[in-house]
Homo-oligomer: A and B are copies of this chain.
Amino acid sequence: MKRVYLFINLFMVCMFFVSVSYSKTSDLKALPSWEEGESKQAIISFVNTVTYKPSPDYVNPEDRIAVFDNDGTLWAEQPLYSQLLFAIERIYVLAAQNPQWKTAQPFAKILSGDVKGALSHSEASVTDIVMAANTGMSDQVYTAIVQEWISRAKHPVTQMLFSQMAYQPMIELIGYLHQHDFKVFIVSGGGSQFIRAFSEKVYGIPVERVIGSTMKRTYENIDGKNVITRQPEMEFYNNNENKVIAINSYIGKRPIAAFGNSYGDLPMLEYIKSGSGETLSMIIHHTDDKREWAYDKKSKIGHLNKGLDQATEKGWHVVDMKTDWKTVF
């Protein structure tokens, strides 16, 4: 008889641990790459408030929406945006099929190694490079190209894989929000499909929660196959006020938390703060020239001026990468 009890108990103990393992992990060990301090406290306190049922600022899970900028917020953006570095590599790869590039600018300058000269050749230079590298193929082929690139391409300064240039504290933050039943979206000026090629793997964010800039596309039957082709024309540039419009188009609700790092994120940060109830708008300030880069008001990439000047008045929390983060990558 005792044996039967023992067996039943063992079985039940297993069942108990199975059910416990589904429950949320404790907050005690949350955000290990964040230093104990105001920034970490601001995040945890915000999450506690909106998830604590008796709180007057409790938010139902379906309304727990957080939005993150990508370049400079989730991964590094210096000395150039990663998608631009990807595009420059593509120009080399595609040069054989485009012999006219030997003399046509900005391509000739890139092929001669003068990237700076190529980018500043004319106002349209960046657009020309981006279009040549990111369009003219099917969506499936494009995704495969980006996935191959991110699996092995290395950052020109750090020699790290681009996927390793994602910020560890931000990956932990996304995970922490997911644990608390937040829906986490990327809202980036970068291309939707570019980011989608690695968003799940690098950030744990599914493709349908990536909102980026889009190219015009056509859908046609080519040689018996139904193909979506990326056209060399911008459809929607997802920056500044457009980030708010895109949030409205894709999500249809005002998020309660937003994270950005440059001028193009400010309308989004302001939009979130104008909601009722508890909200969190955070600016990632690049202050660490040893472990990453230090830049703000004078930088063309990741330009941040008003964001710092108006932060207190607007209620935006500024994260100091140097003092707030134990680890960067």
Contacts and interface: CB of A to CB of B under 8 A. Distances in A.
Contact of A228 (B16, B248, B251): B248
Interface residues of A, number: 43
Interface stretch (A81-89, A169-177, A267-275, A292-300): A267-275
Interface string A242-271: 001100111111000000000000010011
A210 to B, nearest CB: 7
A68 to B, nearest CB: 15
Nearest to A248: B228
A225 B273 CA distance: 11
A196 B12 contact: no
Interface stretch (A39-47, A97-105, A200-208): A200-208
Contacts of A139: 248
Contacts of A200: 62
A18 B17 CA distance: 12
A206 to B, nearest CB: 6
Nearest to A210: B252
A108 B208 CA distance: 44
Interface string A118-153: 000000000000000000000100000000000000
Nearest to A20: B15
Given A5-B9, A228-B248, 6 more contacts: A5-B5, A62-B200, A192-B252, A196-B252, A219-B245, A250-B250
Instruction: Rank and list the top 5 A-B pairs by shortest CB-CB distance, nearest first.
Output: A12-B12, A19-B19, A207-B252, A226-B274, A219-B244
Interface of A: 5, 8-9, 11-13, 15-16, 18-19, 22, 62, 65, 139, 183, 192-193, 196, 200, 206-208, 210, 214, 217-219, 225-226, 228, 241, 244-245, 248-253, 267, 270-271, 274
